[in-house]
Structures are given as structure tokens and as C-alpha cells.
Amino acid sequence: MGKIKVLSEDLISLISAGEVIENPASIVKELIENSLDAGTDMIDISIQGGGIDKIIVSDNGMGIAREDCEVCLQRYSTSKISTKEDIDAISTYGFRGEALASIATVADIRITTQTKNEDVGTLIVSRIGDNPKITDSSRPIGTTVEVNDLFKSVPARRKHLSSPKTEGQRILEVVMKHAVIRTDVGFRLSRDDEVLIDCPPSQTPIDRITYLWGRDIAKGLVEVYFSEDGVWVEGFVAMPPVSRGNRSREYFAVARRPIFDERLSQSVESAYSSLLMRGQYPICALDIALTPGDVDVNVHPTKREVRILDLEKVSSTLTKAVRDALGVDRASEESESLEGYVDGSLKGDEEIGEVPRVSSHEPALESGHSVLPMIEQRILEPLFETEKDADPVNLLGGVFRIVGQVHQLYIILEDQEGLLIIDQHAAHERTLYEELRKEVNEKRVAIQELLEPFVLNLSSTDTEQILDLTDLLEDIGFSVSSFGGNAISISTVPEIFGKVTSETELISLLDQIVTIGKTEAQESFMDELVKLTACHSAIRAGQYLDIEQIRDLIEDFSKTQGKYTCCHGRPSMIRIKKESIDKAVGRLGHDAIQRFNKRHRIKK
């Protein structure tokens, strides 16, 4: 007997349901999109137990006619398409005809609906394994879908769901992504009888974003309205320095359909270029409109992703749209005349020769670093004006002289063997990490009371997650409490963080804390928290250090155990031997010997 066999309809239905229904949030997404296709202007969502126990989605759309109720729970039943040509021109959210059928395969459903042309509404009751029962009912025009006991017939799937709190957070994020784009529709979300979102219909886009993301973000937003070559981009982006420590506030939609696409994120991030600090991400809510034939929304079972046929064109237009809104191109044009160097030459009366190029055949320095063609001497700070400035520092078991600071980023030390280049941020981060890690382990973290507590307005999601971590945050020195609504108050910080405390720095830190809180196990969370705090407290690139500050930094750094890397594993210093430099500039090696012999008329 052959090994290949046709699956039963029951198994086929479960496989199909698994493609569409991943968790409670995917159910809410499908039901919201059905409501939007029904022409609603108000969607009310209520969940219990993170949506695992119960989900109710109610709208005031057109409703489902009685004759359609008899087939709406069957697979591939849809009112959106009739011919293959319809697939290429689809403009609605749902069209696969799988959502309600898939939900009915893994949960019990009750649907109450009525259209404007009916005197009596319809009630559909579907229990897993039984045929749906249809009876008369009554309600205002629209539809209510109630989903109970998700995956009760598939215990393995139910067991792998996250906690009710986490599943509830996913639902909250789904609702927010639709609410940001569809400002013409009202959204109300309740969790275990607590209202989390309550947006009226027909809000202005900025009012909607202010409500959902907070006033601190909204005040930094600028409008995007741009079109080129059949691509239209609308929405908002935040002007630097307003940003986040992760991509949680990068919202994208294609034809008002919220999607996830890392390539779109990269296009927006490239538009910001050097405007944001390393580790910071843009804030944006952007809707991209294309002609229906230029996008395939049928590529993903849950429609979370789409296939853009000419992604390069869309990415380029998106980058231009963001740069235009930020004024990046205009600023570049205005500052072009101020550029100090062009093609290796200095503008103005003073000229310098051509910058020497290092041959690709020259030996590389240690640790894989190539020789730089030229060190910009104008960046070096004048040091050693007194004998005290020449005091040596001890590091790595040797004695070094401080040469100076380059690009307000690297500290240069020298000894008889060559140079030691230290990344000032990485070195300080390592020092602070080991100091704070020891304090946490010994439960004696030094804290700083803020003269005025910081009150930060966050999103509902972030506020709740931060408040859930208050005990752990307190262990490291942050006193966090609710300030009503989506606001939190921070009254103390670790002493090492107090030197750089600012609203921007705190929001950036909290963003990253939320991210690691989602992904890290409890036992490693505290170590990640210490690393983040050390990173945000450390000296930054671009920060000037005088000779005393450099000496203090090196002395503290020399006492650390893991001094070869920062606490995230990035190298904190590199060694360049004098011999490598000599070879690179032709003082050693075969060419140098030839020149010496020729100069001194020495024959081989």
C-alpha cells in the first residue's frame, strides 16, 4: 500500500485554520477587516482572558443577509470575488473566504446580524464538530461575532499560546495599527471590562495619533504627502530627535491595509541617515497607495504581508517622501557650500595635495583593520601643555601616554610598541556595567532622587508593560508609578544614569526595556536591563573629553575584568603596532630597503 494518501476534510480544515488563525490577535484582525469591508464607522471589540476565552467584535456595517448566513461559515465563501480578474483588482480587506470558516474550525462562534432590508435579524450558532444552527434574532443593523474557547479542540495549539496578558497586548497592537490608518472609523477596545482604547469616528489624523501614541510623540510629527511614478505616500513621520529604541512605532499600510515589511522599514530608516543616534528608530505612520495591478495582496494567508511588484520603485519613492517631509534634501543643498572637503581638497585659499592612497597590496593592521589614508589632525585636541599632561596611564599591564581624542569618539594611547585606540563609549559602558552589576548582585544600588519626577506619556501597550516591570526596575534604581491614563512617573534613577537623565533618554531606554521584556526569560532579564542602563549612561560618541576626563576613564576602565569588549560584545579597543604603520607608509619592507640601498648607493 502506498504511503501517500489524501487527507480527510477535517484535517484539511484544521491545516487551513492553522494558516489563518495563529492566535487571538489574528482573529481580531480578520473580524476588524470584515467589519471595515461591511462599511462600518464604529467597531467595538471586547476580549476576556487575552482573547483565548472570549472575543466579541461588533459593528454597525451593512450586516449579512439571511441567505448568505447559510454559507458564510463554509470554506472559500466570499462576496468579494467572482472571477479570476477580480483577484488582480481586489480593493477590499478580506476576500479569501477562509476567515469565518477557519475560526469555526477551532472555536465556538455566535453571529448576530441584520441588514437594513430585513425586518428580522439572524442568529448563527456554530459549535466545533456540529452543523451551524440558524434562527431569528434582532439587533440594530450590523453584525456581532462572538468567539469562545479558542483551540479547545486542539489542546496542543492552545498550550502553545502565550499568557493572556501577552495575547491581550497583541490584540491591542492590532487594533492600534488599524486605528492609526483608519481615522474615519471609531474603535473601542475593552479587556476584561477595562476600556483600553476609545476613539470616536472621523477624528483628525493628528488627534487620533495623539490619543494612541501620546502627546510627546505627536508634537514632533510632520505630515507626509508625496507622489511619484504611480506611488502615493501619505501619513506622518517624526522629526529628530523624537524617536524610539525599537521599530514598534513604524506603522505601514498598503491601500489602508496594515502590513509588516522590513524592506519598507529600511527605506524609511535610510531617509533619516545620520539624523538619529545609533540604536534609535524613526516613528512613522505611512499609507502607500498603488494601482491594484502593482500589488499582490494574496501572497500571505493572513494578509499580514503583500508582494509589491516593483519594490525598488516603491522603496525609492518612500525614501524620497520621508526625506522631503524632513527637509533633508533642502538642508543638504543649503549646507553643501559649507562642506570642508571635496574630493580630498580643501575649499578656499588653502590647498592641500592629493590624499595619498594606500595600495590594496599593503599589509593590513592587526585585528583586520586597514590603514587609514590620512588622520585628520584638525580633530586632535591640543594636549600636553604642562608636565602633568604627560603623566602616564597604566592599562593591559603596560604604561601608555595619552595622545588625545580623535573625532570626539576614540581615545589614542601610545607606548613603545605602537598605538592603542579605545572606543570611549564602549570603554565607559563596560566600566558602568560591571559597577552596576556588582551593586545589583549585592542589593546596594546607589540611586538619585530627581528634583522633579519625569512624567512620560506612552502608548497603552508600553505603559502596561513598564508598570508590570516596576519591581525589577526598582531593583536597579528606577522608581516607576502610574500617573493616570497612559502616563507614568519616574522619581528615582540609578546614580550612574542621573548624569544623562532626560526625557528623550528615558523614553529610549524604556522602549528597549519593553523589547527585552517581550523576548528575554526572567532570569536573564535583569542582566539585559543592567546592560541597557550602562549603555544609556555611558559617554557618547561626539562628547568632548579633556585630559583629566580621559585619564579618569582609562584608570576606571583598567580595573574591569571584561575590558576587551563592551557589555554587548563589541570590541572596546584595537592595538596597532608601530611596525604595521611603518610598513604601511613604506618605512619597512622590500620597497623601503630598495629606497635605502639606492639612497646610500648600496649594491646587492
Q: Give the range with max mean pLDDT: 30-44, 336-350, 441-455.
A: 30-44
**Strand partners for 144:** 58, 112
pLDDT value at 187 more than 90: yes
Quick one: angle between helices 24-37 and 99-106, nearest 10?
Answer: 150
Cis peptide before 282 (omega within 30 of 0): no
pLDDT value at 304 more than 70: no
- What does the alpha-carbon distance between residue 569 and residue 71 come to, in Å, rounded to a whole number? 58
DSSP secondary structure, 13-42, as one string:
HHHHHHHH-SSHHHHHHHHHHHHHHTT-SE
- What does the alpha-carbon distance between residue 446 and residue 497 come to, in Å, rounded to a whole number? 10
- Looking at residues 69-89, what average pLDDT do you find? 53
Which pLDDT band holds residue 391 (cuts at 50, 70, 90)? low
- Position 100 scores a pLDDT of 82
**Strand partners for 191:** 47, 194
pLDDT over 70, % of the chain: 75
**Tens of pLDDT along 188-244?**
999 998 999 999 998 999 999 988 888 878 888 999 999 998 899 999 999 988 888
- Position 154 scores a pLDDT of 80
Half-sphere exposure of 496 (CA within 13 A, CB side): 24
- What does the alpha-carbon distance between residue 91 and residue 81 come to, in Å, rounded to a whole number? 10
- What does the alpha-carbon distance between residue 186 and residue 60 come to, in Å, rounded to a whole number? 11
Which pLDDT band holds residue 341 (cuts at 50, 70, 90)? very low
- What does the alpha-carbon distance between residue 528 and residue 61 come to, in Å, rounded to a whole number? 47
More confident position, 345 or 79: 79
Taking a C-beta distance cutoff of 8 angstroms, is the pair 493, 478 a contact? yes
Domain 370-604: give its CATH code. 3.30.1370.100
Nearest to 25 by CA among 191, 185, 155, 183: 191
Taking a C-beta distance cutoff of 8 angstroms, is the pair 231, 317 a contact? yes
- Position 357 scores a pLDDT of 33
Name the fold adopted by 9-199: Heat Shock Protein 90 (3.30.565)
- Looking at residues 514-537, what average pLDDT do you find? 74
Distance of CA 481 to the CA centre of its chain: 25
- Position 352 scores a pLDDT of 29
- What does the alpha-carbon distance between residue 507 and residue 514 come to, in Å, rounded to a whole number? 11
Q: What strand order describes the sheet that includes 257-259?
A: 221-228, 231-238, 284-289, 250-254, 257-259
- Position 603 scores a pLDDT of 64
Residue 130 has what DSSP assignment?
Answer: S
- Looking at residues 399-422, what average pLDDT do you find? 90
Cell of 561: 575584568
Nearest to 574 by CA among 375, 377, 396, 360: 396
CA Rg value for the chain: 31
- What does the alpha-carbon distance between residue 21 and residue 35 come to, in Å, rounded to a whole number? 17
| Domain locations along the chain | 9-199, 205-330, 370-604
- Position 29 scores a pLDDT of 92
Q: Which CATH number fits domain 205-330: 2.40.320.10, 3.40.50.10490, 2.40.10.120, 3.30.230.10?
A: 3.30.230.10
**Strand partners for 177:** none
Residue 125 has what DSSP assignment?
Answer: E
Cell of 129: 464538530
- Position 370 scores a pLDDT of 37
- Position 346 scores a pLDDT of 32
- What does the alpha-carbon distance between residue 124 and residue 109 come to, in Å, rounded to a whole number? 8
- Position 295 scores a pLDDT of 65
Give the range among 66-75, 271-280, 360-369, 383-392 with minimum mean pLDDT: 360-369
- Looking at residues 437-445, what average pLDDT do you find? 87
Burial pattern 361-398, b for ≥16 Cβ within 10 A else e, equals ebeebeeeeebeeeeeeeeeeebeeeeeeeeebebeee
